[in-house]
Chains A and B, each alone.
Chain A
Amino acid sequence: MANLLWLQGGACSGNTMSFLNADEPSVCDLVTDFGINILWHPSLGIELGDNLQKILRDCVSGKIPLDIFIYEGTVINAPDGSGEWNRFAGRPMKQWVTELSTVANYVLAVGDCATWGGIPAMAPNPSESQGLQFLKRDQGGYLGAEYRSKSGFPVVNIPGCPAHPDWITQIIIAVATGRAADIALDELQRPKTFFQTFTQTGCTRNMHFAYKVSSTAFGQRKGCLFYDLGCRGPMTHSPCNRILWNRQSSKTRAGMPCLGCTEPEFPFFELAPGTVFKTQTVMGVPRELPAGVDKRGYIALTAAAKNAAPAWAEHDIFIV
């Protein structure tokens, strides 16, 4: 049995929608099989108005023990640090966040907005948005670098735009079944069990990556999306090709370049003109190389790959 409260700040509800896609366990299974008591959730909660405020106040006062506090969306500080542009239950949402974070055993930031600031924090960041404990790659965010929840954990960051439902439900179950001590976090406070691997790990286009065969335009039936179409799969930490989306596929499998949405810089280059779905290059070499590879190594590797590439690699492979 664990009490869970889920609130949304500067959010699109995309993580909630992703969460509702969950299967094994479904959201209903979490409640009925794992004893997760959902105190309130913006799309699922029965209470509204003062009844909801009472739940929030009871959590803050300790009358209701708050085991897991999930936050979706940015913390909005506008205008001028007041947070009045995002009022919730009678006052700025940021005030609820402050008080609930003090009493929660575990705080989960779900999605890019809550982890790093995401889309709302893009320049010029009109809503003065922050993530819970980061703004982009800078530790601190709204709660500050020193923040620890009652269990001693910092905010557990489950990034992604949106986060995959499994990434959310498995962490909830880990906490609820007493396995929280096994949750190892990386330097960005992401659970390593999900975010040590790359988006490219398990991608169906890996052979084309290896032989440097490029998808030069969308809608092709072969090729890797890294060389021309701006795919960030080799530089992005996520299990998108290990734990498939909607049980079926992934962006890169379907032909869409990875946008790097589990990393704090998303959306990369602030979507400046010329940067969308196009690999940024300097003298023909990608400006950003696969993680850990240097420029000389890259040039040697791709030259060798081209020489070694078998004829079939240039033919359509994902055929009807």
Chain B
Amino acid sequence: MAVQTLDISPVGRVEGDLDVRVDIEDGVVTRAWTSAELFRGLEIILRDKDPQAGLVVTPRACGICGASHLTCAAWALDTAWQTELPRNAILARNIGQLAESMQNIPRYFYGLFAVDLTNKKYRQSKFYEEAVKRFAPFTGKSYELGVTVSGKPVEMYALFGGQWPHSSYMVPGGVMCAPTLTDVTRSWALLEYYRNTWLEPCWLGCSLERYEQIKSYDDFMVWLDESPAHANSDLGFFWRMALDIGLNRYGAGIERYVSWGYLPHEDKYQKPTIAGRDAALLVRSGIYDGKTDQHSPMAQEFTRENTSHAWYDEGDADVHPFDRVVRARKKNSTDFERGYSWSTAVGHSEFGRLEAGPLARQLVSGGTHGDAWQYRDPFILDMYRRLGGASVLLRQIARMHDTINSYRQAERCLREFRLNDPWYIKPKERDGRGFGATEAARGALAHWIEVKDGKIKNYQIISPTTWNIGPRDNTGAAGPIEAALVGAPIADPTDPVEVGHVARSFDSCLVCTVHAHDAKTGKELSRFRVG
């Protein structure tokens, strides 16, 4: 059977503009290319601006992960200015980060991902009718609940930051707020609401405490069979339907994972430095190599960007973000040899390309590196090993599982605040280099800043989607999503819902149109409707 090429521009329900091209042979994707189609040039805008400009501009890089950008921007300046922070400020930043992630989880799962389970392709599944009842856009029972409850955690954010999205309440030296007792008690009430309205009754079908007993794949199976409430919860139902429609059978990717870790401990990072970050994190950073089953440390100096297949005129060599000067290519015509994306190819100087995201975060947190006081959770790593690697299904399970730790960490922040202690220590402005990182809901996010002569000399951002959506690098190696698309079965080339599943399983920040072309002639074969 001849190779078919599908050009998909845009793929919706990803943030930003994403185009995908796939080659299909015998109904299976054999090669893929991903293109980011929007360039705003925020790094260019930040040149020569006030050192604190990143606190205003970078949350607006992404409306979904704005608190995560703010977190990075603030820590990057803290390390550059060599500030000191009060413990309350660290906790107040962490709770903002966590609130944003808890918002994102139901919003992403119901709003962006699960609606595809109502695709007519799955009409033959015995789960289809129920999936429509739960997940149909706007009217599905769980859809409506999930989208509505997603606004609750960010009410908590507003109590500390004033509003979500787009606050700038984290500043070098601490935070702008000085919360009162009722800000904390209201936050408790909002957390409880999230748990009692959606997390326990709808998503888990059991108490958090029961779910937290799950430490392995076998534990999960016991839980699933234990009660109809578990099997019929959205989690149980999704698991069963996903197996029925084969979401466990494709979307593996490059099998190497990166996490920056996040949530600095309030007593261990009051004098932040780039080098001291990893040892101070509640949730560890690291790399997990699924091929060798080995964990390794991650540090910012290993980061490399490559623009050999991106729309930048910056040469073909790998560069560290501190050394990068963004030069956008004026003529951004699509050429799969020279350039086909605004995303760079991000990699590790030794490990090469890495996948970022909640799956990566969970796989890293299953390792034995780091200290005993740090968060450790073997469940997803065990499931990865038992299932023989990643898939569309496992990415969803990992992402939703992550909610539980976010919830518990938010509770911890509320317990640890000492309301009468300080929230801010005024820093001294100075020149220097800084690095700030976090785990956004969708994965590893980092900022690099160089301040010189009292203004920004260089500002670089690498988002989780940059790790995942990047094009080929100078070795020809495919990016994580490009790799994950390979092997995806396309049952109907006029309706490649599987491409959407894979792209959205990374929770990319992107958008796509679909044309079908004959690979040899480039002639369009058909136009089709997806949905």
Closest beta carbon of chain B to A253's beta carbon, Å: 6
Q: How far is the CA of A218 from the CA of B93 in the complex (A)?
A: 14
Closest beta carbon of chain B to A108's beta carbon, Å: 17
Q: Which residues of A contact B186 (CB under 8 A)?
A: 248
Is the beta-carbon distance between B49 and A126 smaller than 8 angstroms? no
Q: Which residues of A contact B41 (CB under 8 A)?
A: 120, 126-127
* Contact of B424 (CB < 8 Å), options: A162, A219, A253: A219
Q: How far is the CA of A254 from the CA of B509 in the complex (A)?
A: 29
Q: How far is the CA of A88 from the CA of B11 in the complex (A)?
A: 10
Is the beta-carbon distance between B17 and A87 smaller than 8 angstroms? yes
Is the beta-carbon distance between B332 and A161 smaller than 8 angstroms? no
With contact pairs A27-B147, A51-B528, A270-B49 given, residues A254 and B424 touching in the complex (Cβ less than 8 Å): no
Is the beta-carbon distance between A12 and B17 smaller than 8 angstroms? no
Is the beta-carbon distance between B40 and A255 smaller than 8 angstroms? no
Q: Is the interface of B mostly helix, strand, loop or mixed?
A: loop
A296 interface residue, CB < 8 Å from B? no
Q: Is the interface of A mostly helix, strand, loop or mixed?
A: loop
* Contact of B162 (CB < 8 Å), options: A14, A90, A249, A277: A249
Contact with B along A40-59 (1 / 0, CB 8 A): 10111111111111100000
- What is the number of residues of chain A that contact chain B, defined by CB distance less than 8 Å? 89
B64 interface residue, CB < 8 Å from A? yes
A147 interface residue, CB < 8 Å from B? no
B-facing residues in A213-272 (Cβ within 8 Å): 217-221, 240, 244-256, 259, 261, 267, 270-272
B-facing residues in A65-107 (Cβ within 8 Å): 76, 78-80, 84-90
Q: Which residues of A contact B157 (CB under 8 A)?
A: 246
Is the beta-carbon distance between B64 and A13 smaller than 8 angstroms? yes
B419 interface residue, CB < 8 Å from A? yes
Q: Which residues of B contact A84 (CB under 8 A)?
A: 331-332
Q: Which residues of B contact A277 (CB under 8 A)?
A: 52, 171
A-facing residues in B161-185 (Cβ within 8 Å): 161-169, 171, 173-178, 180-181
B298 interface residue, CB < 8 Å from A? no
Is the beta-carbon distance between B39 and A256 smaller than 8 angstroms? no
Is the beta-carbon distance between B15 and A119 smaller than 8 angstroms? no
With contact pairs A12-B61, A217-B426, A245-B162 given, residues A46 and B56 touching in the complex (Cβ less than 8 Å): no
Q: Which residues of B contact A28 (CB under 8 A)?
A: 138-139, 143-144, 147-148
B126 interface residue, CB < 8 Å from A? no
Q: Which residues of B contact A300 (CB under 8 A)?
A: none
Is the beta-carbon distance between A218 and B454 smaller than 8 angstroms? no
B339 interface residue, CB < 8 Å from A? no
Closest beta carbon of chain B to A121's beta carbon, Å: 9
Q: Which residues of A contact B39 (CB under 8 A)?
A: 76, 78, 85-86, 126-127
With contact pairs A47-B12, A259-B56 given, residues A250 and B163 touching in the complex (Cβ less than 8 Å): yes
* Contact of A14 (CB < 8 Å), options: B17, B63, B115, B137: B63
Q: Which residues of A contact B15 (CB under 8 A)?
A: 13, 42-43
Question: Could you count the A-B residue pairs with CB atoms below 8 Å apart for me: how many are there?
Answer: 293
Is the beta-carbon distance between A21 and B151 smaller than 8 angstroms? yes
A32 interface residue, CB < 8 Å from B? yes
Q: How far is the CA of A165 from the CA of B25 in the complex (A)?
A: 46
Is the beta-carbon distance between B57 and A14 smaller than 8 angstroms? no
Question: Considering only CB atoms, which chain A residue lies closest to B100 in the complex?
Answer: A17
A sample of 17 more A-B contacts (CB under 8 A), given A21-B164, A31-B139, A53-B513, is A12-B63, A12-B66, A17-B66, A21-B154, A42-B12, A46-B531, A49-B529, A76-B38, A79-B332, A85-B38, A86-B17, A244-B158, A248-B155, A254-B162, A261-B166, A272-B50, A273-B455
In the assembled complex, 13 residue pairs joining A and B whose CB atoms fall closer than 8 Å, in A order, are A12-B63, A18-B165, A23-B148, A26-B147, A44-B111, A46-B12, A47-B12, A47-B531, A90-B9, A129-B40, A218-B424, A252-B162, A270-B49
Q: Which residues of A contact B (CB under 8 A)?
A: 8, 10-18, 20-23, 26-28, 31-32, 38, 40, 42-54, 76, 78-80, 84-90, 118-120, 122-124, 126-127, 129, 161-162, 217-221, 240, 244-256, 259, 261, 267, 270-277, 318-320
Q: Which residues of B contact A (CB under 8 A)?
A: 8-13, 15-17, 19, 37-42, 44-45, 48-53, 55-57, 60-64, 66, 89, 107, 111-112, 115, 137-139, 143-144, 147-148, 150-151, 154-155, 157-169, 171, 173-178, 180-181, 186, 328, 330-332, 419-420, 422-424, 426, 454-455, 500, 509, 511-515, 527-531
Closest 8 CB pairs of A and B: A49-B514, A14-B63, A219-B424, A126-B41, A245-B163, A254-B162, A251-B162, A219-B423
